[in-house]
Amino acid sequence: MAVKPKAFKELYAKAAGRCAMCPNYESVFKDTICSVEISNKNMSEVAHVIAQSKKGPRGEDGYTGDIDDYDNLVLLCPTHHKAVDDNPSSFPSSWLRAKKKELEQWVNNSLQLDSRRNSDVNALRLLMKNLAFTRIRAQCDDLPDSFDLNFFDTGTTLDNFPIDLPDARPFYDGVLEAKFSEFEKSYRELSWILSSHIETEKKGTISVYREAIQRGSRYYVPLNKGELYAIEESFEIQNEIRARREKFLNCYVELMKYLRFNYPEIDLNSYEPYQW
C-alpha cells in the first residue's frame, strides 16, 4: 500500500518540510542536504517507523494500526532514511518517534510565539537566574572520588521553583517538560545517595564521603578512601554512584541541548552570582 495523501500532507505540514534527523532540522528544499547535491530541490522522503514486513526495518516490533498512516511515518532526507533502515538496531522505533515529536515541537515553538511559549520562556529565565545551570557538570564530574558541596544548591533551587512560580509547571512545551522531568528525577536520585553517605555521627551507616574540606573559595566532599578500603559494600555504593552520575549527566546534556536549540533567548549562564 502507498502512503495516503492525507497522511503525507499532515506529516509534511507538521514537520514544516524538514528532516527530523538533520542538524538544525535542515529544510528538504535546498541545493544540498547532508553534502548531497540535488537538482529538483526536493529531498524529502517519507520513512516508515515500523516496516510492514517483519523482515523489514523494525518490523519485529509489530504495528496494529495502519502501517501507511501518519502515526507510523516520519519525514527524513534520503541520507538519514537510508541510515535508519540500514541500521535498525541503532535507530529503534521509540527513538524515531521521539525525534519526530521533537521536530514537530520545534516547528510549533518557531511558528507559534503565543502566550504559552512566553510563559515557558519567562519561567526559564527566572529559573536560570537562580540556578547555576552551566556549573552543574563541573560540580559532580569527579564522582565518585569527590564532588562540590554546591551541587546540593541545585536541589534547593528545584524545591523553590514551584513555590516561586506555582503556575510554571508543567511547561506548555511537552518535550521540554519531559526532558526537564528526567533531569530533575535523575538529580534527585544522585543527590539522595550522596547525602545519605556523607560522614555523620550516626552509627550503622557507611560513610563513603568525609566532611567537606575547603579548596580556595569552594568546598569539596572527598571520598573516605582510607576507611573504605576493606569494606566490600562501599564498592557497591560507589558503583551505584557512578551509574547514577552517568544517568544524570545524560539527562543534563539532553536538557541543555534542547534549551540551546529551542530557546536561544534564554541565557543559560545568567545565574546572578555570575554577574560581576
- DSSP 8-state symbol, 21: S
Q: What is the structure's pLDDT at 247?
A: 98
Outline where DSSP puts E strands in the chain: 32-33, 36-37, 45-48, 73-76, 146-148, 213-215, 218-222
Q: Give the model confidence (pLDDT) of 117-140 as tens digits.
A: 889 999 999 999 999 999 999 999
CB of 124 closer than 8 Å to CB of 266: yes
Residue 79 has pLDDT above 60, yes or no: yes
Percent of the chain at pLDDT exceeding 70: 83
Q: Which three cell numbers stand for residue 142?
A: 569527579
Q: What is the structure's pLDDT at 39?
A: 47
Q: What is the structure's pLDDT at 27?
A: 59
Average pLDDT over residues 81-100: 89
Average pLDDT over residues 69-79: 89
Residue with cell 553517605: 197
Residue 84 has pLDDT above 80, yes or no: yes
> Whole-number mean pLDDT of the chain?
83
Q: What is the structure's pLDDT at 109?
A: 76
Which residues share a beta bridge with 18?
A: 27
Flag whether the pTM goes above 0.75: no
Residue 233 has pLDDT above 80, yes or no: no
Residue 230 has pLDDT above 70, yes or no: no
Q: C-alpha angle 122/246/85, rounded to 5°?
A: 85
Q: What is the structure's pLDDT at 41?
A: 46
Average pLDDT over residues 209-227: 74
212, 191, 201: which is closest to 149 by C-alpha? 212
Q: What is the structure's pLDDT at 220?
A: 76
Q: Residue 143 — left, alpha, or beta (φ > 0 → left; ψ -120 to 50 → alpha)?
A: beta
Q: Give the model confidence (pLDDT) of 31-60 as tens digits.
A: 454 554 544 444 568 888 888 777 778 877
Residue 225 has pLDDT above 70, yes or no: no
Coarse DSSP helix, strand, coil percentages of the chain, rounded to the nearest 5 percent? 55, 10, 35
Q: Give the model confidence (pLDDT) of 141-193 as tens digits.
A: 999 988 999 999 999 999 999 999 999 999 999 999 999 999 999 999 999 99
Query: What are the sequence ranges of the domains in the chain?
Result: 5-111, 115-274
Q: Residue 11 — left, alpha, or beta (φ > 0 → left; ψ -120 to 50 → alpha)?
A: alpha
With cut-offs at 50, 70 and 90, classify the pLDDT of residue 28.
Answer: low
